[in-house]
Each structure stands twice: as C-alpha cells, then as structure tokens.
Structure 1
Amino acid sequence: MLTLAYVLAGIAALVHVYIFRLESLAWTEPRTRAVFGTTPETAQVTRPMAYNQGFYNLFLAVVTVVGIVVSAYGSEDVGAALMYAGCGSMLAAALVLATSDRSKLRAALIQGVAPALAVVVLLVARAGE
C-alpha cells in the first residue's frame, strides 16, 4: 500500500514538473497559450507572474520527491510528513483553482487527483502500521 502512495505521489510530482515547464519555461509558446487559453499579448504581460507560479509547482514537486526518497530509504515518518506537505499543498491549490473559476475544473482535476489519491492511500497505509 505504501508503494502505491509513492507511485501516486510521484505522478503528482511529475504533473507539477510539467506545469512548471509550461508556466516558467514555455509560457509564451503557442501550444502553452492554447493550454491556458491566452493570447500572445496576455501571455507576454503575464509572463513574470507565470514564471514565478511555475516555480511554486516545481518546489511542491521537489518536496514530494524528497518525501518519497526519505520515506523509502530513511525515516518513514519524516518522508510521510514531506509527502503530506507536498501533495496536500498540490491538492489545496487544485481546490482553490476549482472554486475560483468553474471553467478551470478540468485543470484542477488534472492537478489535484493524483495528490488527493496519494494523501488518502498514504493515510490508509500508515493507519495499518
């Protein structure tokens, strides 16, 4: 069960690394603009904000991956705390996105399902110890 939590947390981290790439590295590219529904002009104006926001996603992914590694090869308690922090923050951000703009529900689900499942599976796995 713990392995499933690691896999789900890893998927969540990969999704957030991809979001980092879109927001911080490719924000003004046509494919990224299509994903976010922005015009070239809007993308250029919002580029600094997107750059910054992308790094938040990267940092959440890093915390989660460090949690997986520490849990698997060091302290399971410390690793679990890091995975809860990373995945819990990803889930919270997805909930904020979903509640702030109903048209972003699909994006919120993409961003939030894997971390939500990781948190639930991790809770169940640790409760069974």
Structure 2
Amino acid sequence: MQLAASIVTALVAAIHLYILVLEMFLWTKPAGRRAFGLTPEFAQASRVLAANQGLYNGFLAAGLVWSLLPGAPAGVAVFFLCCVLLAGVYGAATASRKILFVQALPAALALLLHALA
C-alpha cells in the first residue's frame, strides 16, 4: 500500500508541476488559454496573477517531491496533500468544478492510500 501511496503522491506532484508550467509560462499562449478557457485579453491582463498562482503550485509540488525522498520527515506527504485537497475544494467552489477532479480528487486518493499504508 505504501508503494501505491507514493505513486499517487508523485502523480499529484506531477499535476502541480504541470499547472505551474501552464500558469507561469503558457498562460497567454494557446495551450494555457485553452486549458483555462481564457480570452487573449483576459490572459494578458491576468498573467502576473497567474504566474503567482503557478509559483504556489510549484511549492506544493516541491513539498510532495520532498515527501518522496528517503529520510523525509513523517507526515510531510500528508501535510502537503491536505494543502492540495483544501486548495482543490476551494478552487472548485469558487472558480471551476473541474478543479475538484483535477486537483482535489487525486489528493484525496493519495491521502486515503497514506492512511491505509
């Protein structure tokens, strides 16, 4: 069960690295606009805010990767997965329900696997 928890945690980290790239580097590009359903004008006007969001997603990914390294303190994965889950639930409630499935559900699954491990 620990292996499954680690694999899903790594997947959550990868999702957040991808979100970092979308928000920090592709926000105004076709791929970023398509991913978030943005007009070119809105993407341009909000690019600095999006880059800031992307940085925070990178911090979540870094914490999750750290939790996978040998010698990581106990509870690091659970802490960062809880952060991801809360951010996903808040995002789903305030921005888009899609966030519930892309962000919150994978984090909840990883938390469940950690609890069972």
Aligned to 2:68: 68
Contact 1:24-1:51 within 8 A present in 2 as well: yes
1:94 aligns with 2:91: no
- Which of 101, 104, 107 lines up with 2:99 in the alignment? 107
**Are residue 85 (structure 1) and residue 85 (structure 2) matched?**
no
Match of 2:4 in 1: 4
User: Tell me, what secondary structure is at the counterpart of 1:28?
Assistant: coil
Give the deviation of 1:107 after TM superposition: 2.8
Query: Which sections of structure 2, spanning at least 5 residues, go unmatched?
Result: none
Any runs of at least 4 consecutive aligned residues in structure 1 with deviations exceeding 2 A, and if so which?
none
Map of 1:33 onto structure 2:
33
How far apart, in 1, do the equivalents of 2:32 and 2:17 lie? 14
RMSD, aligned α-carbons = 1.2
Q: Deviations over 1:52-76 (max 9, x none)?
A: 000100110100110111xxx225x
How high is the TM-score relative to the length of structure 1? 0.86
Amino acid at match of 2:89: L
Please identify which structure carries the higher helix content. Answer: 1
Superposition TM-score, scaled by structure 2 size: 0.94
Q: Distance in 2 between matches of 1:65 and 1:115?
A: 14
Q: Percent identity?
A: 34
Query: How far off its partner does 1:108 sit?
Result: 2.4
**Between Structure 1 and Structure 2, how many residues are aligned?**
117
- Partner Cα separation in structure 2 for residue 122 and residue 107 of structure 1: 22
**Alpha-carbon distance in 2 for matches of 1:49, 1:40:** 15
